[in-house]
Structure 1
């Protein structure tokens, strides 16, 4: 038993030493947050532009948006490992990374609380860094349980999510989106039920949905010129939300990531839509 313990300790020390020298490029904000939460932020040498939490990740070299990655930018960082989401990785890009001798690790994401726990453990297992996985998952569960305790909104407000990048790019969220699931966890209901995913915003759809609350990303509302600009969009002023100027915003990466801060996202949104 003593010999086995000694060997196990030696193997762990060797593994830790190897991991210390690993250079990681992360191509997804949720995965970046998990990698950092596992204590491996020092190993991250580059990220995509959605990787903004923790704040210190903003200073890491950026290699493009997770669906529009600059392969040359990644290769220039000479990573040993590239991590990302399977649905966001093109076969051509995957081939380039593998041809360069880079270990490519891709994950699937399920937009549920259980899915987040699975992702935390999957990332930890893949990077051979399970020591902090249990504590990270436990903290996640605690925050989510605390959030659920404070959600008591019998009104079930109808919330309409608008994705905006100026008035020229405005989409409304239908069913089956990560945002819809957070809205429901926060005690609201999606104002749109007629279609799935995202469709261009129309005044007819706005009036028909007649939401009680309009939800946007922080920078999305800014791109419209704030609430005054949003109220100028055709159809908005005719809704209950528009009449009451019931408009709330949240950071995009927190609202949609289904990462370790899901409990915080649910709590924040629940407070905003009361």
Structure 2
């Protein structure tokens, strides 16, 4: 029987296959495939000395990794595609899959490390430490984790905003925007900066029509860059059915965010949250409190 390992790191290690003895160390001459935008971002932030030769479709930052060959979509991988780049190591987000594909990779001698983290802000630092352990950048990871936690602590310590209802548009589908409800990264982001999610009663992302927009009455629209571009820009945003009936539509109050930087809960997320808080304060006419320090 061929020995192989698939490890899931973070808050303990769950073994999904047969384990090789010891923890894999990063070697510059090994060929690495990185799967998951947050994992790639973390590898880059740690300046890990690993030879990354491929990525998946969700890796769009940094540009150096985005330029690498893609082996497919994170959740719909095929063993043939990954093996075509001849990897020695696969470093992946915990929701990479299917599981059977990862087991096939391990069965032919490719080591697979899964960094599994809940989609919460508190897990960002643990994710950084886990990637640091796999890539042999423990000291750098500890320093980065502490810095990121300090920024999140600063955000949490800011004075409460006046009660303000916001909606988060991730995508645009036909004539209706696709808004974020509870149990989404966007909902977490809105709450983190002190906004109330106008669509918190629904779960996940759903299309919302004119009646729902008028009823929930968001005062601020937070929209992703990709979502705004897909609908045709700011003018198209305000022309969405029902948007003119909302306080946000009447006042033309909206904020554009980089959803990949903010919602991936990688190392860029704390600064993105502080920037979002600054933008909200500016719209509400509040003296800036969320100052970003180096």
Instruction: Mark the CA change 1:16 to 1:101 in structure 2 (over 3 Å): closer, same or farther.
Output: closer
Give, in whole Å, the separation in 2 of the partners of 1:87 and 1:50: 12
1:131 matched residue in structure 2 = 139
**Scaled by the length of structure 2, what TM-score is found?**
0.80
Corresponding residue of 1:220? 227
Question: Match of 2:126?
Answer: 118
**Higher RCO (Cα < 8 Å, 6 or more apart):** 1
Pairing partner for 1:58 from 66, 80, 83: 66
- Residues in 2 aligned to 1:18 and 1:256: alpha-carbon distance in whole angstroms: 28
Return 5+ residue gaps in structure 2 as ranges. Answer: 1-22, 282-294
Which residue does the alignment assign to 1:245?
A: 252
Residue number in structure 1 paired with 2:5: none
2:210 aligned with 1:203: yes
Match of 1:159 in 2: 166
Alpha carbons of structure 1 residues 252 and 148: separation in structure 2 relative to 1, 3 Å: same
| Alpha-carbon spacing, 1:126–1:67, altered in 2? closer, same or farther (3 Å) | same
The residue number in structure 1 matching 2:178 is: 171
How far apart, in 1, do the equivalents of 2:68 and 2:193 lie?
33
Which residue number corresponds to residue 10 of structure 1? Answer: none
Given candidates 30, 36, 40, the residue that maps to 1:22 is 30
CA distance in 1, matches of 2:176, 2:104: 32
Structure 1 Cα separation of the partners of residues 95 and 188 of structure 2: 19
Match of 1:8 in 2: none
Using structure 1 for the length normalisation, give the TM-score: 0.85
Matched residue, 1:259: 266
For 1:42-87, what per-residue CA distance to the aligned partner results, in whole angstroms no more than 9, with x for missing partners? Answer: 5211112222233322222222332233543322221111122233
Figure out how many residues of one structure are paired with residues of the other and give that number. Answer: 259
Distance 1:22 1:172 in 2: 42
**Mapped contact 1:227–1:245 kept (Cα < 8 A):** no
**What is the CA–CA distance in structure 1 between the aligned matches of 2:37 and 2:175, rounded to whole Å?**
26
Q: 1:17 to 1:83 in 2, by over 3 A?
A: closer
Alpha-carbon contact 1:157-1:273 (below 8 Å) kept:
no
For residue 85 of structure 1, the aligned residue among 80, 93, 102 is: 93
Secondary structure of the residue that 1:260 maps to in structure 2? coil
Once residues 271 and 148 of structure 2 are traced to their aligned partners in structure 1, the CA distance between those partners, rounded to angstroms, is: 9
What is the CA–CA distance in structure 1 between the aligned matches of 2:135 and 2:27, rounded to whole Å?
8
| Higher helix proportion | 1
Q: Tell me, what secondary structure is at the counterpart of 1:199?
A: strand
Q: Using a 3 Å threshold, how does the CA distance of structure 1 residues 119 and 94 change in structure 2: closer, same or farther?
A: same
Match of 1:236 in 2: 243
Deviates more, 1:43-52 or 1:26-35: 43-52
Secondary structure of the equivalent of 2:42? Answer: helix
Shift of 1:16: 11
Distance 1:218 1:102, change over 3 A: same
Which residue matches 1:193? 200
Q: CA RMSD in A?
A: 2.4
| 228-237 vs 66-75, which moves further | 66-75
Q: For residues 133 and 16 of structure 1, do their structure 2 counterparts lie closer, same or farther at Cα, with a shift above 3 Å needed?
A: same
Report the 3-state secondary structure (helix = DSSP H, G, I; strand = E; otherwise coil) of the residue aligned with 2:27. Answer: helix
Deviation at 1:243, TM superposition (A): 1.2
* 2:278 paired with 1:271: yes
